[in-house]
Amino acid sequence: MSDVFVSYAREDRDRVEPLVELFEANGLSVWWDRELVPGSTYEDVIDKAIVKAKCVVVIWSKHSISSEWVQAEASDGLERGILIPVLLDKVRIPLAFRRGQAAVLEGWPAKQDASELKRLLKAISDPTSAQPISVETRSNWKPERSWLRRGNLLIGLAVLVLAAILIEFRPKDQTTTDTLFKGAIPVASITILPFSSRDGVDSVNHQGITYEVSNLLQRVGSLHIAPRQQVESYLDNLTRGFDTGLQAEYKLSGIVSDDGLSVMVSFTDDEDSNLIWSRSYELSDETISSTVHEIANDVATSFNLNVPVVAEDISSSTYLIYLKAQAELRKPVTLEILSEAKSQFEETIRLAPRFAEAHAGLCRSYIKLYRETMQINNFEMAERHYHRANTLNSNDSSVYIALGALYRNSGKLIESVDSIRHALQLTPFSSEAMRQLGQTYLKQGKIEAAEKQLLAAVKIEPGYWVNYQELGRLHFNNGNYAKAAEYYQMEVELAGEKSRALNNLAAAYYLSEQFDRAIDAWRSTAEVISYSPTLSNLGSAYFFKREFDLAADMYKQAIRITPEDHAYWGNAGEALLYAESSDADDYFERAIELAEPLLAIDPKDYLTLSSLATYYAARNNADRADRADALITQALTLQPGDVYLVYDAARTMARLGRNDETSQLLDQLVEMGYSEALIALDANFDQIEK
């Protein structure tokens, strides 16, 4: 049993640690760890820790008042009558928690109030005797805003160019022992044709049956299920009068009865067209899961295999909502699409609270929202739904894929690899797991291993646009812009919504010095859709053309769409700096204010570290110069061979007036393949002899 359970927001960890040390120095045992715990149920760990704690100390700050985790933990303490609030910032405590003993420690730990600390320690020693003090006197307090700033990520930086596709960079010359499909030779390869009615109509309900039978069979490690895009391409070719073949040994098909109450399923050896079996299954308006599981299990049993047990019997209408949510997640990312996916996963969970895959899907939705908006509460919600999914089904591939993404986005790359490898053990032919593993290898700097995994995903799902987006990103980040353009062109051809794909293609054109072609593409895209990365990239193009006011206007438009992304504020600050506007400082300050908290999620996020270095250097006073120097040094230590970090380092040194170091870094950039034409156009380096 712990004396104290400390509830806090991850951004406040450095401020909370001295308080924990104080408690421990006074002989109190403390539970306060927020680390992910693979293989165990995090929600259960927290629940047990709170139940066993003698009191719950909740740290209220500008970060924690909006944290659902903190409010949930505070609710547990309040229900047990052992809640003790601590105020670190001038904030208004959420209404439900205002009546309780509060210690006011504003300015902690730099400023320490002995009397408040004494009152706090006394309250902890006997939480039930603490008398409430008035918090209403603080009802007029407002969250403070320390207008910080941030530097620019220009076209020369892949962060700007591909801000919306989770840019993660890497050094070269690292290898891996992983091989394509290592240990994953399939017992059988099966094509599942869309179930339909006798008249050939493929309804939404039939799609649901087809999709879930495929989904269950994919979890059988020894089976390979042909991807839907491949099947759709085959059927499309058939309508045109030629048979391209299914490229699989076996075929599963189903005909739904006219009354919709049964389905006749046939399983065929496709090589010689021999019928292996044909069976009728009942369908019910009340449930689809049990029937789907029965069909999938009969297929697996044909090879002496079994499919995983269904965790919950879900109604057909609920399951279709889940399928629609999954379909939204496969579309090119926009905030509207992610919001729709999130809403449908939430509706699925409302109707089926114990459906692990829906929680895993909601986790992935929140991760993507975090990457799009850089709002930390989205990351916290992703954590919550992963832990709930793991509680419900710790042997589901989608749960481990979600955990791998969480680890990768918090900088725990070894753990991410382990989680996704476990997912691949459960579903060796999961293209999603292969892509996720490729993304993590890319962030580790293992280029060859990353490319292998992404090419494996292409082999499994040759018609899925995102595979080509990721391959384009890999080559883009390594300076192979012509190859990147080839993959991005394929992405453009396959993606339904093309603004992001066109943005990526234009970026590859720009960095291969096809400037006019790139600008035309960005302008055309911006006229059709207000997409913040495109607007920001177009702003960077104007920046290189020395049209700084026009560049700043583009960046401001991007800010209006995505106000929490520090990159756009930094971009605007840089344009305003060279436009000699007095507003530049405010934009840099806001950029820093948004970027600094991201290091609480991933302290080794070298992209944020290098960006912050350029922001601090823009003001060029002594304190900020030291901070900028330390940040860029740390970033380069983490990724010493990254061309874009070297570019950031050159900008940082130029802003600090260290011209000799800037010249050396620019020479290094050219050796690494960075465009000399872009260096010549870049206003950051005007004072340097090129």
- Look at residue 109 and tell me if it is in a domain: yes
What pLDDT digit, counting tens, does each position of 664-677 carry?
A: 999 998 888 777 88
Amino acid in the structure at residue 448: E
The domain total for the chain is 3
- CA distances 373 to 397, 405, 408, 601, Å, are 27, 16, 17, 14
On whether both 108 and 162 belong to a single domain, the answer is: no
- Per DSSP, helices labelled H in 352-464 are 356-373, 376-392, 397-409, 413-426, 431-444, 447-460
Residue 100 has a pLDDT of 56
Q: Which helix (H) or strand (E) holds 6?
A: strand 4-7
Query: Are 165 and 207 found together in one domain?
Result: no
What is the rounded CA–CA span in Å between residue 109 and residue 129?
27
Any idea what the Cα angle at residue 370 is, between residues 368 and 371, rounded to 5°?
Answer: 65
The secondary structure of residue 345, as a DSSP letter, is H
Examine the domain organization and report whether 519 and 639 are in the same domain.
yes
CATH number at residue 236: 3.40.50.10070
Say if 367 falls within a structural domain.
Answer: no
C-alpha distances (whole Å) from 99 to each of 81, 120, 191, 660 are 11, 15, 62, 60
Which of 301, 397, 315 has its CA nearest to residue 348?
Answer: 315
- Tell me: cis bond preceding 109? Omega within 30 of 0 counts: yes
> What is the pTM assigned to this prediction?
0.56
Report the distance separating Cα 547 and Cα 651, nearest Å. 19
Residue recorded with tokens 């039978």: 213
Parallel/antiparallel/unpaired status of strands 250-256 and 196-197: parallel
12 part of a folded domain: yes
CA dist 402 and 428 (Å) reads 16
The answer on 161 and 281 residing in a single domain is no
| pLDDT computed for residue 362 by the predictor | 93
Domain boundary among 256, 286, 304: 304
Scan for tokens 């170091």, then name that residue.
661
Contact 361, 388 (CB under 8 A): no
533 and 630 co-located in one domain: yes
Domain boundary among 244, 273, 304: 304
How far, in Å, CA of 133 to CA of 18, rounded?
24
Show the domain range for 588.
Answer: 152-171+478-690
Q: Which of 286, 304, 322 is the last residue of a domain?
A: 304
What interhelical angle do 68-80 and 42-52 show, nearest 10?
A: 30
The helix (run of H) or strand (run of E) holding residue 217 is helix 204-218
**98 & 236 share domain:** no
> Same domain for 134 and 197?
no
**155 and 540 in contact (C-beta within 8 Å)?**
yes
Enter the DSSP assignment of 193. Answer: P
Alpha helices by DSSP H, 302-334? 316-329
- Note whether 618 and 577 are within 8 A (CB): yes
Q: What SS3 class is residue 256?
A: strand
The DSSP output letter for 312 is S
Q: Which residues contact 392 (CB under 8 A, 6 or more apart)?
A: 311, 354, 355, 356, 359
657, part of any domain: yes
DSSP string computed for 20-62: HHHHHHTT--EE------TTS-HHHHHHHHHHH-SEEEEEE-T
Q: Where are the beta strands (DSSP E) in 169-320?
A: 188-192, 196-197, 223-225, 250-256, 262-269, 274-282
Q: Residue 607, CB half-sphere, CA atoms under 13 Å: how many? A: 22
Query: What is the DSSP annotation of 98-109?
Result: -SS--EE-TTTT
Q: Is residue 612 part of a domain?
A: yes
Q: Are residues 132 and 274 in the same domain?
A: no
Q: What stretches in the chain show pLDDT beneath 50?
A: 36-40, 130-184, 204, 311
Task: Record the tokens describing residue 383, joined without a space.
Answer: 């954590």
Rg over CA atoms, the chain:
28
Measured distance CA(637)–CA(271) in Å, rounded: 56
Q: In this structure, is residue 668 part of a structural domain?
A: yes
Structure tokens at 632: 């860029």
Residue 671, judged by CB atoms within 10 A of its CB (0-12, 13-18, 19+), counts as exposed
Q: Are residues 651 and 610 in the same domain?
A: yes
- Residue 411's nearest CA partner among 615, 600, 594, 566 is 600
- Residue 197, classified by CB atoms within 10 Å of its CB into exposed (0-12), middle (13-18) or buried (19+), is middle
Instruction: Name the region of 630 (left: φ>0; alpha: ψ -120 to 50; beta: rest).
Output: alpha
Q: Are residues 233 and 295 in the same domain?
A: yes
- Token pair, residue 262, equals 């049964």
Whether 516 and 584 share a structural domain = yes
453 forms beta bridges with none
The CATH number of residue 638's host domain is 1.25.40.10
CATH code where residue 29 lies: 3.40.50.10140
**Residues present in the chain in total:** 690
- Reported in sequence order, the residue ranges of 220-348 that DSSP labels E, i.e. its strands, are 223-225, 250-256, 262-269, 274-282
Residues 666, 558 share a domain: yes
Tell whether 327 is covered by a domain: no
Quick one: how far is CA 502 from the chain centroid? 21
Name the phi and psi angles at 189, rounded to 5.
Answer: -115, 130
* Within a domain: 79: yes
Q: What distance in Å separates the CA atoms of residue 154 and residue 161, rounded to the nearest whole number?
A: 8
